[in-house]
Amino acid sequence: MRVRDDLDPRSAAFSAMAGGSKATAARKEPASYWFDRRHVEEFDLRVQSFRTTEGEVLTLVRVLAPRMVEIYR
């Protein structure tokens, strides 16, 4: 699965990019923040973002529902 090209302003990554804390707390977000697939809004992800010293943001994305992987692989 490939992530979206744009960054959803409601995502943890956007908060980290905007200059919040160095790391965001792990939280649940709708899969539609990260993936642009049909019916993906039915699923949630667990995400955590970290701002690097170079000003980039690294985000860990964990798929919570194995069914999501089965459908979209």
- pLDDT tens digits, 20-37: 668 889 999 999 999 999
Dihedral in degrees, nearest 10, Cα atoms 31, 33, 16, 59: 40
Mean pLDDT in residue range 58-62: 95
| Model pTM score | 0.84
Dihedral in degrees, nearest 10, Cα atoms 70, 41, 37, 20: -110
